[in-house]
Amino acid sequence: MTDSPSFLSIESVGFAYPGDCPSLDGVSLSLKRGAFHCLVGRSGCGKTTLLKLAAGLLRPGSGRVCIDGQPLTGPSRQAGFVFQTPSLLEWRTVLDNVLLPVSLHRRVTSRDRVRATDLLAGMGIEDHARRYPWQLSGGQQSRVALARALVTDPPALLLDEPFAALDAITREDLQNDLLRLTRTQGTTVLFVTHDIAEAVYLAGHVSVMENGRITHDLAIDLPGTQTDDKRYHPEFTATCSRIKAALARSDRVGSS
C-alpha cells in the first residue's frame, strides 16, 4: 500500500433486506489503490452483502460507498465482479464469455479480442478459446470468469469466494494467477472468503466480520510475500492462528 488517498471507501454503511434484521451495521472500510484486502467470517456475517454494496449492486440504507472519490449510485463500471460460481453463458464460446462485459456496452473490436486472448494465455487456457463452458473443468471455468472480470481493465476487482468449490491444487494455482494478474495491473482487490489460509496468502490486510460488523483488522506482513513459499513460513501458520483467534473472540462477543 501507498500513502495515497483511499480508492475504495465504505463509510458507516448500514443495510437491511426488506423485512429482515440489519445485515450490516455501521461498517467502514478503506482500501488504497492497488491494495489486496480480504474479508473473512462465518456464513451469514454480512461479507457478501458488503461486497455487493462495494460493487453498487445494492444501495446502502445508511452511509455511502465511494470509488475514486465518487459516491456509487448504481453498478460501477470501475469494478469487475467474480461470483461464487463462474456463471458462464453455456451457448457462448470461452472467448465470447470473456468479452461479454465489452459487448454489453459497445461493439467488440480487434483490440478487445487481443486483450481477451492475452488474459486466457496468461492463465494457460488460450487453446480453449473456441470451446464452450460445458467442455471445461471447474478450474478452467473459474479462469474464464476471472478473465471476464479483468477484460475491461477495471481499477477494482471484487470476488465472492470464487475458488471455494475447487480442489486444493487448482485453488492454489488460481490464487497465484489472481495475484500475478492484479499486481501487474495495479488492481485494487476486495476478496471474500471463509478460508483463513487463503486470506493470509492473498491479502495485505484481513478484516474479520461478525454479525454485520468488522470486529478486527489485521495487517499481513510475512517474509516471502506473494511467493510460492509463503505458505511454508512459520509466520504463516502463526498469522492464521491470530485470525482464527479473532474469529473466536468475535463469536464469543456475538453470543453474549
pLDDT, tens only, 203-235: 999 999 999 999 999 998 876 555 456 777 788
Answer whether 154's CB lies under 8 Å from 115's CB: no
Same domain for 147 and 248, yes or no, is: no
Answer whether 112's CB lies under 8 Å from 101's CB: no
Same domain for 241 and 166, yes or no, is: no
CA dihedral 56, 38, 245, 233 (to 10 degrees): 180
Same domain for 206 and 242, yes or no, is: yes
Same domain for 150 and 59, yes or no, is: no
Same domain for 50 and 103, yes or no, is: no
Same domain for 103 and 45, yes or no, is: no
Per-residue pLDDT tens digits for 94-148? 999 999 999 988 898 999 999 999 999 988 999 999 999 999 999 999 999 999 9
Same domain for 83 and 188, yes or no, is: yes
In one-letter notation, the amino acid at residue 169 is: I
* Domain housing 62: 1-31+41-75
Angle at 3 between CA 46 and CA 243, to 5 degrees: 35
Same domain for 99 and 155, yes or no, is: yes
- pTM: predicted TM-score of the whole model, two decimal places: 0.89
Same domain for 164 and 199, yes or no, is: no
- Establish if 10 belongs to a structural domain: yes
**Other C-beta atoms within 10 Å of 119: how many?**
23
CATH code, domain carrying 47: 3.40.50.300
- CA–CA gap between residue 226 and residue 223 (Å, rounded): 9
- Which pLDDT score, from 0 to 100, does residue 96 have? 95
Q: Who's near 223: CB < 8 A, 6+ residues apart?
A: 230, 233, 235
Burial 195-229 (b: 16+ CB within 10 A, else e): bbbbbbbbbbbbbbbbbbbbbbebebebeeeeeee
* Strand order across the 22-32 sheet: 22-32, 6-16, 62-67, 70-71
Same domain for 55 and 118, yes or no, is: no
Same domain for 67 and 81, yes or no, is: no
- Give kind and range of the element (H or E) at residue 36: strand 36-40
